[in-house]
Amino acid sequence: MTSAIQVKPISGALGAEIDGVDLASDLSNEAFDQVHQAFLDHHVIFFRGQHGLTPEKHKAFGRHFGTLNVHPYVKGMEGHPEILEIIKEPEEKTNFGGGWHTDMSFLEEPALGSILHAIEVPPFGGDTLWANQHLAYEALSDGLKETLEGLTAIHSAKGEYGPKGQSALNRQSMEATAAPDAPEFEHPVVRTHPETGRKGLYVNPAFTLRFKGWSRRESRPLLNYLFEHSRQEPFTCRFRWEAGSVAFWDNRSTWHFALNDYHGHRRHMRRVTVNGDRPF
Ligand SMILES: O=C(O)CCC(=O)C(=O)O
Ligand SMILES: [Fe+2]
């Protein structure tokens, strides 16, 4: 049987739009395999016009890939604890996800992927950017690659969700709990993707605090170098949302950044987060 699914890359680095899939319908095994393969090949995939994706269907699609996460610090949607309502009201100044990060690297088993559904979008702005962390790793010198291979990093939510955090804490439209005592977890700096075997950088500006066995001050210069390196334009793509658009990204191989450039307008998204495994 031939399939109507089409995969159209949106940049040379990562990201592809998928045509011919209704995420609210029961996907055939063949369609599901194609979506999964596109996800692995392109690291973030986009679907347009998914107006029928109810909270139940959104969760059902996520469950194809793993169990669903209930965020430890941000309150979920009424009746759907696994769904985060990411809302910015017109008068709010800060936004959720407004700095480069990968979701939930502060857990022992960080998120595999996140599935974001646009409910209401501003007339301009509010785009999201992604950065391919395989490309970031591959662009490093052999010497630095070798050094980083031997390093472990400490991740925690205590900064972002602590007193000076940039996250959802100071926002009215999303209820977040302060977590100044959030636990620390160790992850390798160079992570091997569990499904493709490809290596990538796995540190990020939001949740990586320092290298294991190094002080914070010692870690800062090298971490800052990696943070600047990893966000370079040739590693990125940028997506323009419409109501009904869906993005499904791989948190094991990408960073993302939600632009906050639509003051005076409302933006409302819903996210389902798929649990992942322990990085190695
Ligand atoms: O609102 C967005 O575009 C992305 C926000 C974010 O970081 C997330 O949903 O994980
Ligand atoms: Fe995020």
CB 51 within 8 A of CB 20: no
- Kindly report, residue by residue over 245-278, the tens digit of the pLDDT: 999 999 999 999 999 999 999 999 999 999 999 9
Identity of the residue numbered 128 = T
Whether residue 231 lies in the annotated active site:
no
**Residue nearest ligand 1's atom 6 by CA:** 97
Whether residue 101 lies in the annotated active site:
yes
List 101, 155, 210, 267, catalytic entry: 101
Helices (H), 92-250: 133-138, 142-149, 216-230
- Domain regions of the chain by residue span: 7-275
Token representation of residue 73: 């610090």
CATH for 7-275, options being 3.40.50.970, 3.40.50.300, 3.30.420.40, 3.60.130.10 = 3.60.130.10
Whether residue 41 lies in the annotated active site:
no
Query: Alpha-carbon Rg of the chain, whole angstroms?
Result: 18
Give 102's contacts (C-beta < 8 A, 6+ positions apart): 110, 111, 133, 202, 204, 207, 251, 252, 254, 255, 256
Give 127's contacts (C-beta < 8 A, 6+ positions apart): 238, 239, 240, 241, 259, 261
Instruction: Decide if pLDDT at 158 tops 80.
Output: yes
User: Residue 169's pLDDT is what?
Assistant: 62
Instruction: Decide if pLDDT at 97 tops 70.
Output: yes
CA of 109 to the centre of ligand 1 (A): 19
Predicted-assembly ipTM surpassing the 0.85 threshold = yes
The rounded distance, in Å, linking the Cα atoms of 158 and 184 is: 8
CA of 97 to the centre of ligand 1 (A): 5
User: Residue 175's pLDDT is what?
Assistant: 85
Q: Is the C-beta atom of 271 inside 6 A of ligand 1?
A: yes
Average pLDDT over residues 43-64: 98
Identity of the residue numbered 206 = A
List 58, 71, 103, 134, catalytic entry: 103
Which ligand neighbours the alpha carbon of 105 most closely?
Answer: 2
